[in-house]
Structure 1
C-alpha cells in the first residue's frame, strides 16, 4: 500500500503578488489531503474521492490531447509523461482530507501535489526529483497547462513545506522561522470567487506596472520603495491606481516580514501589525474581502488577535488570525459570534 499526506497552505504576506513577479511568504499547516492506494493489477486507476462522494476511472490509454479544464489528474499525468513517467501499475485509490474545499487553503493544489507524489511513488520514473521540482510540476499541471491566471505560490509552498519566502521570478525559496505565534483559521462559509478576483488582480496590477515602465523604461519593480507609489502615480491610469498602490505597498510589507522572520525570535506583535496592514490593502485596494468577513476579522482583533487577514484569492473562503495563547478561545468565539461557519487552531508544519 502507498500512503501520501500533503498539507494545506496559508499565504501570510504577498497575496496577489506572485503573478506580478513579486515575492510571497507562505506556510503549510496541519490540515491534510490523504491518498491511500493498493495495487489492483489492471491498467487503470480506480479513484474514490470520499469527501465529495464521487468516483473516477483513469485508463492508461486515455487521451491527454483534450483535457477538460481543471482536470488536474490528467494534466499532472501529461506533465509527468513529458518528463519520462511511464504508467505501468494500476491502483485502487482513496482520497480524503480535512482541508475545507474552495475556501482559500488550497485544497486543489494540495490534491495536485499529492497526486504527483503518488504517481512518482507508484509508477516508473527515470529521474530523481526534489520537493521544489514537485512544486513546479504541480504549477505546470494547474496553471500553465490550462493558461490560468494564478501564480506558483500554492504549489511551491505545499511541496516544500514549512514557512518560506518565495522569489516568484527565480523560483528560489528561503526557509523562515516558524515561530509565528498561535494561529486560528476561520471558515467564513462564503464561497470564493477565485478566477474573477485573480483575473482582475493580475490584469490590473500588470497594466499598472506596464504603464509606469512605458514612461520610465528603467523602472524596476523589484527595486521599488514605498515612495515610488506617489513618484510614479501620475503615469498610471486612474482605473489601475488602486492596484498600483497594492503592488508597491504589499511588496514593502512582504520585505519587512521576511526581515523579521529571518530573526531567531521574531516579534509576533510586529508581524501581526504587518498582517493587518496587508489585509487593509486587500480589502480596500484589491477589494477581495466581503463585508461579513471584514466584520468577523474586526471582532477577532477586538478579542485580542494580533493580526488577521483573508486567505487565498478572496471573495470568500477562510481567514487566519495571529494570536497569543491566552486569547485563543476568545478569538475563536469572536469569529463564530459574527457568523463564521467554523474556527479552530492550526499549526505550521515543518518541511
Structure 2
C-alpha cells in the first residue's frame, strides 16, 4: 500500500514498524495484546493505530466542498488483529462498558435507529463494509481487540478514527492494495452507513497526518499539503464536559441539508441547472466568483428569515416528495424550517478564513505577528459558529470567554453542540492558560468529578497518521 504524493512519487505506506515511543503507548499495547490473548486464546498478527484529530480552522465546510486545516493528535484508536479463514468477525473492547460483538462478514448489517446512539461496534462495521464492497474476492474473518483514548463525543474524531481503523485492518487482512488517499476516501464514504452525512476531513487527516505539521486538505479531488505552524505556537484542547453523538440527532445533518438547499436556491435564482448543484463550492465554481463575492451573493439572494419547507418547494418549483428525495436525508425530512442565509454566510466566510490562515503560516516571517493574526481568525470562527451556524454550547462559550487575555484565540472544534475547544497559546503562556481553565472551569464542576484534569485540558502538537505495526520481539 503506497501513498501518492502531490509530486507523483510513492511512499511506503504499510511498513512493519517496531513498537517504540513512550511507556504509555507501550503499556497500552501490552494491555491490548493481553486482552486479545485472554479473549481469543491466540496471539494477534498485527496492530493498527489511527489518531484522533483537532481542526484548527475550517469548521462545517468540508461537506460543502471547501478545504480544512486539521492536525492529527497524540490520542488514538488501536486494534490488535488476527485474520482467520472462517468468514466471521469477532470484536472485543478493553473498555468493559462496550459489549463484545460477532457476526458473519458476508451478512453484516448496520442498524440505525432514529434518536438512539449507535452501538460502538456499528462504527467498526462501517469501515469493514466499505472494504467488503471493493474487495475482488471473498473476505477473510478477523479476531479484533479494540482500545482507544480519544475522548468520546468530544469533536476529536473518535468515531471516524474507529471507522478508519476498521477499514485499514480489513484492507490489510485481505491484502487489498490502496493508496492513503483511496482508503481515506473509502473511510469517509463508509461512515455515512451510520447516517452521518459528513465530509472527508476526519478520515483524510487520520491517514495523511504528518508529525510536526498541520495539513491543508482539499476535496474533489482529495489533496493534502503540509502547513508549518509559526514558531512558538502551542495549541491546547479543552473539553467542555458536554457531549453530542452526531448520529443520535438530526442537528448535524440539518446543517448539511441547509447548506445544500442554500446552494440550490441561489443556483435557481441565477438561472443555473440547480439540480446538478450539490454544494456551495459547486455554486461558486458555476458562477466563477471569489469567496468575498459569494458572501455578497448570499446577502443578495437569500433572506435572513428562516425558509419554510413549503417556501423552498415553491422557490425550486418541486413537490415536497421530490425535495425529500433529492436534497434531504432520512432524518431531516421532518424539519419544517431552514436557516439558509446564515449557514451559507458562515461557510463562505469560514472557507475564506482557512485560506487566510494558511497564507499567514506560509508568508508571515514575524512569528509574534503571525500568531496574533491566527488568533484573530480563530476568534472570528467561533463567533460565526456560535451566531450564524448555531452549533456552539454554553460550556464551549464559557471556555472561550475564560481564555480571553490568556490565549491568542480559541474556538470550538469538531461538529459542536458540545465537545472541545482548541486554543492558540505560546510556550510562555500555555501553563498559565491551562491552570486558569483548571481553576475556573473544571475544579468544582460536578461533571468533572473523578476525572483526570490532564485528560480534559492538554497541550498538543501535530502527530503522525495511521500506522500498521507488529510488536517488537
Q: SS where residue 169 of structure 1 aligns?
A: coil
1:174 alignment partner, one of 199, 216, 225: 225
Tell me if the contact between 2:346 and 2:384 (Cα under 8 Å) persists in the aligned partners.
yes
TM-score normalized with structure 1 length: 0.89
Matches within 5 A, 1:7-156: 7-38=51-82, 43-64=87-108, 66-69=109-112, 71-84=122-135, 86=137, 89-125=140-176, 128-143=177-192, 145-146=193-194, 148-156=196-204
Counterpart-to-counterpart distance in 1, 2:389 and 2:178: 37
Q: Does 1:257 align with 2:390?
A: no
Tell me if the contact between 2:88 and 2:142 (Cα under 8 Å) persists in the aligned partners.
yes
Counterpart-to-counterpart distance in 2, 1:318 and 1:250: 18
Tell me if the contact between 1:105 and 1:312 (Cα under 8 Å) persists in the aligned partners.
yes
Cα distance change, pair 97–147 in 1 and its aligned pair in 2 (3 A): closer
TM-score normalized with structure 2 length: 0.67
Q: Post-superposition shift, 1:15?
A: 0.7
Give the total of aligned pairs. 346
Q: Post-superposition shift, 1:98?
A: 1.3
Counterpart-to-counterpart distance in 2, 1:205 and 1:32: 31
Q: Post-superposition shift, 1:252?
A: 1.2
5+ residue gaps, structure 2: 1-44, 113-117, 273-281, 307-339, 443-447, 449-455, 466-473
Counterpart-to-counterpart distance in 2, 1:277 and 1:225: 16
Q: In the alignment, which residue of structure 1 is the partner of 2:240?
A: 188
Q: Does 1:198 align with 2:241?
A: no
Counterpart-to-counterpart distance in 1, 2:142 and 2:262: 49
From the CA coordinates, give the structure whose radius of gyration is larger.
2
5+ residue gaps, structure 1: none
Q: Post-superposition shift, 1:323?
A: 0.7
Counterpart-to-counterpart distance in 1, 2:152 and 2:135: 32
Cα distance change, pair 260–38 in 1 and its aligned pair in 2 (3 A): same
Q: SS where residue 250 of structure 2 aligns?
A: helix
Cα distance change, pair 169–12 in 1 and its aligned pair in 2 (3 A): same
Counterpart-to-counterpart distance in 1, 2:152 and 2:359: 33
Q: Does 1:314 align with 2:426?
A: no
Q: SS where residue 153 of structure 2 aligns?
A: coil
Q: SS where residue 308 of structure 1 aligns?
A: strand
Counterpart-to-counterpart distance in 2, 1:44 and 1:220: 45
Tell me if the contact between 2:80 and 2:145 (Cα under 8 Å) persists in the aligned partners.
yes
